Amino acid sequence: MMTSEDTAKICLITTGGTISSIYDEGIQALRPGLSVDALLDRLPKGMGNIEVIKRELYQLDSANAQPHHWQTLAGAIKQVSEEIPDLYGIVVSHGTDTMVYSAAAVSFMIQDFGKPIVFTGAQIPASVPWSDGPRNLLDAIRVAAFGDLGETCIVFNGEIHRATRTKKVRVNSYDAFDSMDPSPIGMLARNIVLYEGRKKRDHSLVPRYDTKLDDRVFLLKVFPGLPPQTLARIVDMGYHGIVIEGFGSGNIPTDENALTGGILQAIDQKCFVVVSSQCAFGQADLSIYAVGRAAMDVGAMSAHDMTSEAALVKLAWVLGHTTEPDRVREMMAISYVGEMSFTTPLPPRNKTKR
């Protein structure tokens, strides 16, 4: 437990995004440009017993983020946590466009961290007086330093979301993110309010860092008129996994422009297929309708209530470890970091006292 005399060390890793953007007269548009020092200068002076260690990793618009950036970020978190073992937590400032992908990837690649890894950003650049960036950054620092939390999360607009259960749902509003069933895992007011069901701080855990990924995973949104040959083209392009975002509970066309043949062909060519839902809330249950069961009968896996973003990242992470069909199915059915609400439970991990 932290006493009033202790200093909470947290590390702020900046990666760019709107929060660090400035207006460039030359291109007449926003681009990342604020340094980590400039971001911190916009916070209230004097943060009590919090020491912020600074790391500037990227100046990247998150629309340009690639899977290798996720791996580099996870490596940076590993490096700083090994250099400074008494860290209370990590804050990552990131663009909102692909924050949920990066945060989900870090969740899978760094497990049993035992401390908060907090992603945050802004809808309005911190260089603008009414930006939400300073508040979000300060909230994230509070959670990293004092929150009884032991998992990767997104802190935004006073809410704390599990990284693998979050979607960006608003383009411009301050409340850009929502948790997709269940509710957020906490909120910030006078105090940090955290709900049951979260992972709590546990300094006895030994973090497991595993950044292996297969980035040849495709996310395909089903729409009326989608040509079935699209699946074969995706496989021909060298993809090893496809997340199909189906209608409703994971339904796909099975009559005109039927996708079942393309799914079967993809699976026969060693390409794994997962079906998620286009709906923000609820789950993909392929057993309800004939048009869902058809996908299951030819070998597609259900994403259950995973978001499509989390399903894509998880499949990439799983395929980085195995391509053995039974093992892939087994791993996709395990909830490793709370990405699904009902699944095969993760086997217990041994704890080692530090």
Give pLDDT, residue 70: 98
pTM, entire model? 0.93
- Identify whether the C-beta of residue 146 lies closer than 8 Å to the C-beta of residue 1: no
What is the rounded CA–CA span in Å between residue 137 and residue 121?
7
pLDDT tens string 184-237:
999 999 999 999 989 999 999 999 999 999 999 999 999 999 999 999 999 999
pLDDT tens string 85-138:
899 999 999 999 999 999 999 999 999 999 999 999 999 998 888 999 999 999
- Identify whether the C-beta of residue 115 lies closer than 8 Å to the C-beta of residue 172: no
pLDDT at 334 over 70: yes
pLDDT at 342 over 70: no
What is the rounded CA–CA span in Å between residue 334 and residue 315?
12
pLDDT tens string 262-281:
999 999 999 999 999 999 88
pLDDT at 39 over 70: yes
Strands 110-111 and 208-209: antiparallel
Give pLDDT, residue 127: 85
pLDDT at 353 over 50: no
- Identify whether the C-beta of residue 33 lies closer than 8 Å to the C-beta of residue 58: no
The whole-chain average pLDDT of the chain stands at 93
Burial class (CB in 10 A: 0-12, 13-18, 19+), 279: middle
Q: Which of 102, 181, 69, 88 is nearest to 140 (CA)?
A: 88
Sorting pLDDT into bands at 50, 70 and 90, what band is 36? very high
Rounded percentage of the chain residues whose pLDDT exceeds 90: 87
| 42 Cβ contact partners less than 8 Å away, ≥ 6 residues apart | 126, 131, 133, 134, 137
What is the rounded CA–CA span in Å between residue 24 and residue 275?
42
Question: Any long-range contacts for 197-201 (C-beta under 8 Å, 24+ apart)?
Answer: 198/149, 198/150, 198/151, 198/162, 199/149, 199/150, 199/151, 199/338, 200/148, 200/149, 200/150, 201/114, 201/115, 201/116, 201/147, 201/148, 201/149, 201/150
Give pLDDT, residue 47: 76
The two tokens of residue 205 are: 């855990």
Domain boundaries, the chain: 8-209, 217-332
Burial class (CB in 10 A: 0-12, 13-18, 19+), 86: exposed
What is the rounded CA–CA span in Å between residue 70 and residue 328?
22
CATH entry 3.40.50.10540 includes domain 8-209: no
Give pLDDT, residue 44: 84
Sign, Cα dihedral of 72, 165, 249, 344 = positive
Least confident of 37-51, 213-227, 312-326: 37-51
pLDDT tens string 286-298:
999 999 999 999 9
Architecture of domain 217-332: 3-Layer(aba) Sandwich (3.40)
pLDDT tens string 124-174:
998 888 999 999 999 999 999 999 999 999 999 999 999 999 999 999 999
**Which tops the pLDDT comparison, 316 or 203?**
316
Neighbouring CB atoms inside 10 A of 8's CB total 20
Catalytic center residues? 18, 96-97, 168
Tell me whether the CATH fold assigned to 8-209 matches the one assigned to 217-332.
Answer: yes
Question: Any long-range contacts for 31-38 (C-beta under 8 Å, 24+ apart)?
Answer: 31/61, 32/58, 32/59, 32/60, 32/61, 32/95, 33/59, 34/125, 34/126, 34/127, 36/12, 38/126
